[in-house]
Amino acid sequence: MRLFPEALSLAWLAVGYVGIAVLIELSFADVSGLVPPWPDLDKLLHGVAYASLMLWFGQLPRSTRAGYALMLLALGAVLERLQGLTPVRSADLYDWFADAIGVVFALGLLAKGHSGYLERLRLRWR
């Protein structure tokens, strides 16, 4: 199977934006009936979600990493603010801190070499 590099990058971006859409949907879901198995589990889930998205977008060219990191941080801040305006969710600054920790953690992993997967896919499918 031969994919052009541009098509692979566009598909990669599309999957990432679907991930963002899922994140937005979950940010406004009514979770009032859910009882977490331990306190502050939501903070861990925030960090994992934002780290995962940063790792995904971090596979794109290195020059775009800072932009995606800032976009994810801004998205987290806006979503937290908007949650405070809904009747079923509440805004929590610590949730945004968890988002930011996830993004920074992913940037650290990317700096340590956890990148290049998209480029390897390009080379494999040439």
pTM: 0.89
48-92 pLDDT, tens per residue? Answer: 999 999 999 999 887 889 999 999 999 999 999 999 999 988 899
Residue 7 reports pLDDT greater than 90: no
Residue 4 reports pLDDT greater than 70: no
Give the residue with greater pLDDT, 31 vs 41. Answer: 41
* Alpha helices (H) along 1-126: 5-27, 41-57, 65-83, 93-111, 117-124
